[in-house]
Amino acid sequence: MDDELGTPAARRSSTRAKKVGAKVSAVLTDPNVRAQAALARLDALESDHLAVETIDLDDDDEASLDDEEQGFREKKAAKGTKRKTRRAKAQAMERIGNSKKTPRTFLELLQEANLESLPPHLPSYVRAAVGPPSSGARRHFCTVCGYLAPYTCTLCGARFCSCRCKVVHNDTRCQKFIQ
Amino acid sequence: MARGAAGVGKSTVVVLDNGAGFCKAGIGGEADPSLVMPNCMARPRSAKKWVFGDQISEVQDIQGISIRRAMDRGYLINPDTEKEIWDRIFKTHLKIRPSECSLLLVEPLFSIPAIQKSTDEIIFEEFGFQSLYVGNAPALTHNYHAECAPESFLAKSNCSLVVDAGFSFTHAAPVFDGFVVNHAAKRMNLGGKALTNYLKELVSYRAWNMMDETYIMEDVKEKLCFCSLDISTDLDIARRRGRSNYYQCDYILPDGIKYKRGFVKDPDAAAAYISKRQRLDSEVEEGVQEVISREAEAPREELRTIGKAGIPTKADQQVLTLTNERFLVPEMLFHPADLGMNEAGLAECIVRAVKACHPSLYPVLYSNVLLTGGSTLFHGFKERLETELRPLVPDEFQVSVQSVDNPLLAAWKGGSLLAASQEFQKAAVTKKEYEECGSMRCRRRFML
């Protein structure tokens, strides 16, 4: 994490890579971070809470327009503003009383129900889960084009199938875990 | 059990299959629900007001429509929103007065007490229904199917394994003698919503940014996705260029001006894979290649001219081209591990559900696998499940997978049958009983 900027990143050409590459890759190659990103992605598959997202969306649009020509630093700044607006919006919504009672998510309710404490013979939501697969084999599909992907990105662990897809991957999505 | 009958005469029974995706509502005893609507509130980007799910079809600008649901992971977590939706259903569509009716509610398996309690509160305290019966989709589907085909093995054994692939999750639930074997039911946390979101994610990276277009992508998924029977061959075909790639197809996205709704550009070409695939089964691969290229000549030529003529319009048409996404998306139901989920696939889920039952039920359950729920509507779902299931089942057992008539409505129809029968009033819990004993005690009667 605390690597000096000079040594391994110096060979790279872009300023972005020089400045943050080493640090970012140190974080990204951490298996914990990757696992977290994977979990966040799975969580996103279940989400449709657009009430908050739509508000963000407008901000995002503006932000992306702004930083189209500018570099990474702006993007970081945009991220900052996004966070701020989200908070501000949430507060605004509370003030308006739009969300009188924010409903708790199902997972919160589930935790509250404390189903683990039930005797093991009783069927419950938790025990009905199908559990892990018997074989750990997992097919990997290219994150760019969708075909079977034999290669892994060394920085972020995403899969790709060919040089062409690697280029696309590096240009557009490497190290930007699915948000 | 006869307690419930006291004080309740023959009243109208409202049957409500409150699925997370679609809400099916109607009067018990009728053949079809009078209303099927998306169980959500929606708000177009331009408007400030939320509209109900049934009004989405009237909305002008469908792009970027926000959708708010009362359900999370299939369970009712936001009673306030749901109350509004139900209010609309009862008042505007069914035109009934809840205080004069009974309610048959279809609830997902394994609901947790807090959710059951809040549901009961809305039903009895907000709406004031006379009585309530809570059923679950697998049992009702089984009963409906048994009723439809009284001579079948399924009806005679009165035992089946119902696979309910819904909007939020997929259950494999053994049903014995009309009741779900609760301790054996298994759940995969993958359903139609996750598949739509997955498709959204794939497409957003490859073509258009559709991350905010859940509603449109749902339509794309329903119209264009199908289950692959042989994923590696299909991937090869999808990789081809030009006309021999019969998986490639276009979907015209709504632009809000010319097209208010999206549609498949050429439905025949989009469905071409069905006939091609059947031919693949019967003929040798190489011979088929020729047939494909020869046959494709004539009609495809036409297509191309259309395509050429369409080039000038391309500027104002937003075309979403799909190839391998069409079958990679439903594929996840069979191999959630590919998504990075630590979950067994559907076939294994079924095997585990069966194995949790008594061994003497194994042969009956394997030969009575019943498919229901909207996510089983993908073309080829049944065939795919059969091919996946067969190697996992010992070969002395026969495996037979069948779909119910109408996977979307089967649970509702089962509920309608039950509501019309004598048993309903006996089994239902009356308002008085609820007031006396509270939610928990009443629930025990439904064996949930």
pLDDT at position B315 = 60
Chain B closest-CA separation from residue A103 CA (Å): 6
Q: Measure CB to CB from residue A123 to each of B80, B110, B325 and give the nearest one.
A: B110
Find out if CATH 3.90.640.10 is the number for domain B192-331: yes
By C-alpha distance, which of B182, B200, B191, B219 is closest to B74?
Answer: B191
Of residues B281 and A63, which shows the higher confidence score?
B281
What is the residue-averaged pLDDT of chain A?
67
B77–A104 CB contact, under 8 Å:
yes
- Partner A contacted by B6 (CB < 8 A): no
pLDDT at position B16 = 92
pLDDT at position B350 = 94
By C-alpha distance, which of B335, B351, B352 is closest to B343?
Answer: B335
Q: Measure CB to CB from residue B110 to each of A112, A128, A132 and give the nearest one.
A: A128
Q: Helices A31-45 and B192-206, interaxial angle, to 10°?
A: 110
Mean pLDDT lowest among A66-75, B226-235, B247-256: A66-75
Count other Cβ atoms within 10 Å, centred on residue A40.
12
pLDDT in tens, B77-123: 888 889 999 999 999 888 888 888 999 999 898 888 888 888 888 89
pLDDT of B330 strictly over 70: yes
pLDDT in tens, B274-293: 887 777 666 544 444 444 44
- Partner A contacted by B348 (CB < 8 A): yes
Q: Which residue of A has its CA nearest to B214?
A: A48
CA distance A10 to B142: 67
Residue A163 identity (one-letter amino acid): C
Question: Average of pLDDT values for B59-81?
Answer: 85
Question: Average of pLDDT values for B145-169?
Answer: 90
Q: Is B17 helix (H, G, I), strand (E, B) or coil?
A: strand
B324–A100 CB contact, under 8 Å:
no
Count other Cβ atoms within 10 Å, centred on residue A48.
19
Q: Measure CB to CB from residue A106 to each of B45, B75, B342 and give the nearest one.
A: B75
Q: What angle do CA B158, B442, B164 make, to 5 degrees?
A: 40
Q: Measure CB to CB from residue B113 to each of A45, A113, A139 and give the nearest one.
A: A113
Chain B residues within an 8 Å CB radius of A130 = 172, 186-188, 343-344, 348-349, 352
Copy the structure tokens of residue B415. 């509920």
pLDDT at position B334 = 92
A54–B194 CB contact, under 8 Å:
no
- Contact partners, residue B40, CB within 8 Å, separation at least 6: B53, B67, B68, B69, B70, B85
Chain B residues within an 8 Å CB radius of A111 = none
Chain A residues within an 8 Å CB radius of B193 = 45-46, 48
- Partner A contacted by B448 (CB < 8 A): no
| Winning range, highest mean pLDDT, from A69-83, B3-17, B88-102, B197-211 | B88-102
* Residues in chain A, overall count: 179
- Contact partners, residue A99, CB within 8 Å, separation at least 6: A51, A93
Q: Which residue of B has its CA nearest to A102?
A: B78
Q: What angle do CA B362, B366, B372 make, to 5 degrees?
A: 130
Chain A residues within an 8 Å CB radius of B194 = 45-46
* Predicted TM-score (pTM) of this structure: 0.80
How far the first Cα of chain B sits from its last, in Å, is: 16
Q: Helices B231-239 and B325-334, interaxial angle, to 10°?
A: 160
pLDDT at position B250 = 87
* Strand partners of residue B52: B41
- Chain-centre distance of CA A119, in angstroms? 37
